[in-house]
Amino acid sequence: MPILPIDAGRYGSDEIKKIFDEQKRLDYQLEFEASVAESQSEVGIIPAAAAKEIAQKARSGKITVQRVKELEAVSEHDTAAIVEAISELCSDGAKPWIHYGLTSYDVVDTSISMQMRDSLSIIEPKVAKMAAMLADKAAQYRDMPAVGRTHGQHASIISFGLKFAVWASDMAGHINRIREMKRRVLVCKTLGVVGTGSLMGSRALEVQALVAKKLNLYPVDAATQVVSRESHAEFIFCLALIASTLDKIAVEIRNLQRTEIGEAAEPFKEGQMGSSAVPVKRNPIKSERISSLARILKSMLSVSLENIALWHERDLSNSANERFTIPMAVILLDEMLNSMTKVLSGLKIDDKRIAENLELTKGQIYAEFVLDALVKKGMPRFDAYRALQRTAFGAEEKDIHFLDALSSDKEISSKLSKEELKAIFNPKNHLAASAQIIDSVTKMVKEVCRA
């Protein structure tokens, strides 16, 4: 019976959830045992015939979750149950060499790395697709003036495309982070009970390097009984950063979809209902879902950081919670990426409303540029600032356009003619370096995605 929404199929794609399926997790662990046996035989630690048999039985597909659970019910040790399940299929000659020189967390930690490896192979292309989509949007709206807001207030003029360029740059940064962290995070450990190499002696590192290569992982530099949890925390941190960027995008879309702003809106398909009570509503539910899931994912970082400080060479205080944090973080991020892809694919941009909002303050959005013009005419900056503030507040009280108020003000009109003022009140004259920034980001994103 499904308990969590993930179990019920509400969140996450099938491809990402398959990685954390019980049988798939067991298969990762069995592949590890097979690779260790093969590597040990290659350096002469265990007999070749035994290694071949162990690898064949481990990969046979005959070892099921059900059987492992039956054995675990007796031993109350999940890894011991896996070793016993392999042993049931092997000859007496091979049995002594199963799991030779290993400890349970060699199996657990390396299989977690295998899960993270395959998760990133799905997540990274989705982040790259997101970066490319955002870069395309940036280019599409490159030359469109829009209101730039700070503190929720109209501040100055930006290119509407610059919003997307910032997000595209953020996503490209995440791609680089993913690639850079793999060497530190996707590690293989075969160093036994307390990280010395134990029974494998001087050949332990050679075995570990061979196993890591077979599993497309990196040999851990040093470990106790477990891989240092800094690596897991870094993995969760990277996912949480991506989630935070998706949340940032979602919050902006939600704000732009507010009735009072109306510059952008999520796609709304035929037959969709925005409210059970109000037929006319079109709620930004996908963006809200992204923000909601981001809160859960980000909270898992705290748990991951707590797991770093374990007793001596290890304790079990990390074990239970990692069964939640890593799978859930990956699955929720996958859901967020899929949702945001749908939002961006059908995002509605209201060009007319963007233009109307530029005039919402009746020209006061141009104050920065009028101030600059006055300074360049020789007026002290503080004097110009106060003059503009006085004129703007007066225009607001009288409900007149800022341009008309400036033209009527003797102090300001003595410095700037009406023609000079009119030229300032053209939004296309104030995009500044926006085009260069957007072009640069678009080029950079293409290079990162191509690498």
75 is catalytic: no
Task: Say which of 151, 276, 312, 345 is annotated catalytic.
Answer: 151
Q: Which of 182, 186, 183, 189 is nearest to 35 (CA)?
A: 189
Token pair, residue 409, equals 């003000």
Return contacts of 288-293, CB within 8 angstroms, 24+ apart. 288/250, 288/254, 289/339, 290/246, 290/247, 290/249, 290/250, 290/336, 290/339, 290/340, 290/343, 291/247, 291/250, 291/251, 291/254, 293/11, 293/243, 293/332, 293/335, 293/336
Task: Say which of 121, 275, 302, 417 is annotated catalytic.
Answer: 275
CB atoms under 10 Å from CB of 396, counted, come to: 14
151 is catalytic: yes
Tell me the CB-side half-sphere exposure of residue 231, using CA atoms within 13 A.
25
Distance CA 100, CA 336 (A): 42
Return contacts of 413-418, CB within 8 angstroms, 24+ apart. 415/373, 415/374, 415/377, 415/378, 415/379, 416/370, 416/373, 416/374, 416/377
Active site residues: 151, 275
